[in-house]
A and B are shown apart, each in its own frame.
Chain A
Amino acid sequence: MYKILKAEKLNEIVYLMVVEAPMVAKHCQPGQFIIVKLDDAGERIPLTICDYDREAGTVTIVFQPIGASTEKFAKLQTGDAFEDFVGPLGCPSEFVNEDIEELKKEKILFVAGGVGTAPVYPQVKWLHEHGIDADVIVGAKTKDLVILEKEMEAVAGNLYVTTDDGSYGRSGMVTKVIDDLVAEGKTYTRCVAIGPMIMMKFCCLTTKKYDIPTIVSMNPIMVDGTGMCGACRVIVGGEVKFACVDGPEFDGHLIDWDLAMKRQQMYKTEEGRALLKEREGDTHHGGCGNCGGDE
């Protein structure tokens, strides 16, 4: 069992949990993810890693309930436990294995959308700890849905918060902020965009205009997470890649977004049904826990 040392509701729809998982905490790197399963009958749900403490042996996960299983996770309290918690999975972010001195010459921009702020955080933190301050755009629908602002502020170079409805920070989509920053004379040598698929797609279209190489993190449907099932196929540069072992981070300018978004829909109807059934108190069956969806 993997004990939940802290369970916190960050806002109406986003939850944070600190989980005891020493082996994962010891080996994980920014960019990687874990798979978690509640109980015997539960689904294997992939979630991104938001933070880790190697000494304490803990891993922090952040999620937004969107399916039957993640709805169950949301009900867990401090002291409860997950039956299974496995990782780290996927490849670390590219820069983790790059030359630090070369990296220092770069100007990196992170674009985080909604709950995607969580996986961006350990990347910005890692760079900060290696003496590199990256600019970060955090976007959310509205003020209450901005997460990890204080944490991000502590490790980012410049932090730009924006809300779709203008209730906090700048006003408008993250893509508008990218345009504005470039118009203000900022230049970036690379961009990392993580959030809902539609947001990543439009970020890539925007950065393409300015020729900024852009990495995105895919979170498709998975079962085992070790390459065995092939459910997480994405087309990158015309080639089939498995997000779990080849990714989850890919060159966003090479991704076939329309196909990826269609695949994302796969369990949508079943998921809706499952959620409905659970609300009705019926025994539910099926429903993708974390297909990412687009809110």
Chain B
Amino acid sequence: MGNVLEKVPVREQDPQVRATNFEEVCLGYNKEEAMEEAARCLNCKNAKCVKGCPVSINIPAFIHEVKEGNFEEAYKIIGQSSALPAVCGRVCPQESQCEGVCIRGIKGEAVSIGKLERFVADWAKENGIKPEAPAEKNGHKVAVIGSGPSGLTCAGDLAKMGYDVTIFEALHQAGGVLVYGIPEFRLPKDKVVKEEVENVKSLGVKIETNVIIGKSTTVDELLENEGFEAVFIGSGAGLPMFMGIPGEVSNGVFSANEYLTRSNLMKAFREDYDTPIVTGKKVVVVGGGNVAMDAARTALRLGAEVHVVYRRSEEELPARKEEVHHAKEEGIIFDLLTNPVEILADENGWVKGVKCVRMELGEPDASGRRRPVVIDGSEFEMEADTVIMSLGTSPNPLISSTTVGLDINRRKCIIADEENGKTSKEGVYAGGDAVTGAATVILAMGAGKAAAKGIDEFIKNKAK
């Protein structure tokens, strides 16, 4: 037995090896490792970790079962709160949620809750254990727009309550950001995402792909003509933002969304798929969030030298520490306190470089982070043949502009009550990035969960 103050280390693919493949980086715990790690849990009465979890998983209870070797029981406990444990165990920012408040963390390292959750979900999959379908249907129809984390969670929860749920997905495959955004090496598509989607389907949820609400049909039509009593909008983050600097429409400048969609959803990294991707020899990724890390590490695996250009310092990088750490291990070069001011193109309109300026940190701004200020005369050129802009997204107006009476805020996000997902339109609920702007998988799941409750109350009250 190791030092109880430290986590049982998790096995990972060697950085040099994984930098050239798309296999999962983290290999996860085996049975023995999981049970050893579970034994570190203090089983706190007033467990802070549960409050730190956006979907309130009964963490001490499931870890207790893992410790005893009762993995199926552990899976059932997680299943009461989360529809996507194999996903969350991999992509949740545990360090700032459950693990961030773990008592173990005061004097040593927090219990590795995420890795344990992942172990339980993977074990259940390997042993063919599925979530249980509800005993009976209640006959009420609910539509869910989008099959990303919030939609799948909302649909799963409603199905468990007996609702007849149909998910409408705009793309040709279900999963939302889990399939188009997060790369294979962090979240395997066939092994994990597909399985989780199948699990939601096994609860009785129907998924219709290739339906774009706002174009193929509308929220109003679903409510008025298609017999749905309520609609949940979980349509995701939307349109990629660009910097607005000269040369940004040059060939070889991509949004992270495009780059990742080509590689993840369309599987451009595989020889047997038709969609092309520009691999690049020297790639500059602009931005410092998780999406930037995903794009950088994808480009690296496609064979490029990759630079992450970020205008603040390492401390302010919005990406998870683990992602930054992994990226560095693999050989991504970080050019911090650096900001592009122009994309340089050759005579054919292809990127040949990026003109940047050096920055320094000034006084804190409204976000509380120190504001980056340009250092005079610091302009310089970086060579590059590909630039990936990872600056966040702005909401897609497709649904808000085609739904009568649905209010949006100044940032064009749908206005919804945090408690229950209620919007300005009766019977219409919303959650996830469509409401908050780009955030995390688990926050979207929390919103989907809250909205499922809200919808249940709404339909029950209406029936009275």
On A, residues with C-beta under 8 Å from B are 23-24, 26-27, 37, 41-44, 68-69, 83-89, 223-224, 226-231, 233, 235, 240, 242, 245, 259, 262-263, 265-267, 270-271, 274, 283-289
Nearest 10 A/B pairs, CB to CB: A286-B276, A262-B349, A229-B258, A86-B210, A230-B255, A84-B172, A230-B240, A43-B274, A41-B273, A227-B239
Contacts A88-B215, A245-B239 aside, 12 further interface pairs with beta carbons under 8 A come to A23-B211, A23-B217, A26-B217, A27-B217, A86-B170, A226-B170, A228-B396, A242-B239, A245-B396, A285-B272, A285-B274, A286-B268
Interface centre among A23, A27, A85, A226 (most CB of B within 10 A): A226
A230-B212 contact in complex given A84-B172, A240-B248, A262-B251, C-beta closer than 8 Å: no
- Pairwise interchain contact A87-B171, C-beta atoms closer than 8 A: no
CB distance from B422 to the nearest CB of A (A): 26
For the side of the interface on B, what is the size category?
35 or more
* 7 examples of A-B residue contacts, CB within 8 angstroms: A41-B267, A84-B210, A223-B262, A228-B240, A235-B249, A265-B348, A286-B277
CB proximity of B285 to chain A, nearest CB, Å: 15
Q: Residue of B at shortest CB range from A267? A: B276
Q: Are B249 and A240 in contact (CB under 8 A)?
A: yes
| Smallest CB gap from A88: residue in B | B215
Interface residues of B in 171-185 (CB under 8 A from A): 171-172, 180
* CB-CB under 8 A for A83 and B172, given A224-B261, A270-B276: yes
Please tell me which one of the listed residues B172, B348, B396 contacts residue A86 in the complex, with CB atoms under 8 A apart: B172
In the bound complex, do residue B349 and residue A44 qualify as a contact, i.e. CB atoms below 8 Å apart? no
Do residues A224 and B170 form an inter-chain contact, with CB atoms below 8 A? yes
Q: Is B266 an interface residue, CB under 8 A from the partner?
A: yes
When distances are taken between beta carbons in the complex, the residues of chain A under 8 Å from B180 are: 224, 228
Chain B residues with CB under 8 Å of A43's CB are: 266, 274-275
Tell me the complex Cα distance, A26–B272, Å.
Answer: 35
Most-contacted residue by chain A among B248, B250, B274, B396 (CB, 10 A): B274
Distance between Cα atoms of A43 and B266 in the complex (Å): 7
Interface string of B347-375 (1 = CB under 8 A from A): 01100000000000000000000000000
Q: Is B238 an interface residue (CB 8 A)?
A: yes
- Contact indicator B349/A230 (Cβ below 8 Å): no
A249 to chain B, nearest CB (A): 15
B166 within 8 A of A: no
Q: Are A224 and B274 in contact (CB under 8 A)?
A: no
Do A227 and B238 have beta carbons less than 8 Å apart? yes
Interface of B is mostly: loop
Tell me if B81 counts as interface (CB < 8 A to partner A): no
Contact of B258 among A84, A223, A263, A286 (CB under 8 A): A223
Residues in chain B near residue A286, CB distance under 8 A: 268, 274-277
Q: Which residues of B contact A84 (CB under 8 A)?
A: 172, 209-210
- Asked if A285 meets B216 with Cβ closer than 8 Å, knowing A223-B258, A229-B257, A230-B239, the reply is no
Within B212-270, which residues are at the interface with A (CB < 8 Å)? 212, 215-217, 238-240, 242, 244, 248-251, 254-255, 257-258, 261-262, 266-268
B348 touches which of A240, A262, A271 (Cβ 8 Å): A262
From B262, B268, B276, B398, contact of A245 by CB (8 A):
B398
Q: Which of B212, B255, B274 contacts A226 (CB 8 A)?
A: B212
In the complex, chain A residues whose CB is within 8 Å of the CB of B171: 224
Query: How many whole Å from B262's CB to the nearest CB in chain A?
Result: 6
Contact of B239 among A23, A85, A228, A289 (CB under 8 A): A228
B396, A227: Cβ atoms closer than 8 Å: yes
Residue in A closest to B236 when the chains form the complex, CB atoms: A228
User: Interface readout for B332-359 with A: 1 if CB under 8 Å, 0 if not?
Assistant: 0000000000000000110000000000
Among B187-219, those with CB < 8 Å from A are 209-212, 215-217
B271 contacts chain A at the CB level, 8 A cutoff: yes
A223-B261, A224-B170 given; A229·B240 CB < 8 A: yes
Contacts of A69 in B (CB 8 A): 274
Chain B residue at minimum C-beta to C-beta distance from A84:
B172
Q: What are the residues of chain A within 8 A of B238 when measuring CB–CB?
A: 227-228
Closest residue of chain A to B208 (Cβ to Cβ) is: A23
Interface residues of B in 44-58 (CB under 8 A from A): none
The interface residues of chain A lying within 8 Å CB-to-CB of B217 are: 23, 26-27
Chain A residues within 8 Å of B244, by CB: 240
For residue A8, give the distance in angstroms from its CB to the closest CB of chain B: 24
B235, closest chain A residue (CB): A226
Inter-chain contacts of B258 with A (CB < 8 A) = 223, 229-231
> Which of A27, A228, A263, A289 interacts with B251 by CB under 8 Å?
A263
CB distance from B22 to the nearest CB of A (A): 15
- Alpha-carbon distance A245/B396, docked complex (angstroms): 9
In the assembled complex, the CB of B269 is this many whole angstroms from the nearest CB of chain A, namely 10
Closest chain B residue, CB of each to CB of A91: B215
Contacting pair A263 B255 (CB below 8 A): no
Which of A223, A235, A274, A283 has the most chain B CB atoms closer than 10 A to its own CB? Answer: A223
Give A175 to B151 CA distance when docked, in angstroms.
51
* A235–B248 alpha-carbon span in the complex (Å): 11
- Taking the nearest CB of chain A, how far is it from the CB of B365, in angstroms? 26
Please name all residues of chain A whose beta carbon is closer than 8 Å to the beta carbon of B211 when the two chains form the complex.
Answer: 23, 86
* Complexed CA–CA distance, A245 and B210 (Å): 16
Question: Which residue of the partner chain A has the closest CB to B276?
Answer: A286
For B210, what are the chain A residues with a Cβ–Cβ distance below 8 Å?
84-86
> In whole angstroms, what is the CA distance A231 to B271 when docked?
22
Known: A23-B211, A240-B249, A259-B349. A231 touches B254 (CB 8 A): yes
CB distance from B380 to the nearest CB of A (A): 26
Min distance, Cβ A254 to any Cβ of chain B, angstroms: 15
Q: B239 contacts which chain A residues (CB < 8 A)?
A: 227-228, 230, 242, 245
* C-alpha gap A289/B242 in the complex (Å): 26
Question: Is A86 within 8 A of B261, CB to CB?
Answer: no
A76 shortest CB reach to chain B, Å: 15
Interchain CB contact under 8 A, B240 and A89? no
Tell which of A224, A263, A274 touches B349, judged by Cβ atoms closer than 8 Å: A263
- CB B379 to nearest CB in A, in angstroms, measures 24
In the bound complex, residues from chain A placing their C-beta under 8 Å from that of B240 are: 228-230
Let me know if B266 and A223 touch, CB within 8 A: yes
Determine which residue in A24, A228, A231 has the highest number of CB atoms from chain B within 10 A of its CB, and name it: A228
> Which of B216, B277, B396 touches A88 (beta carbons < 8 Å)?
B216
Do B255 and A229 have beta carbons less than 8 Å apart?
yes
Chain A residues lying within 8 Å of B271, measured Cβ to Cβ, are 283, 285
Select one of A44, A230, A235 contacting B172, CB under 8 A.
Answer: A44
A224 to B278 alpha-carbon distance, docked (Å): 17
> For B216, what are the chain A residues with a Cβ–Cβ distance below 8 Å?
23-24, 27, 86-88
Give the complex CA separation of A223 and B267 in angstroms: 12
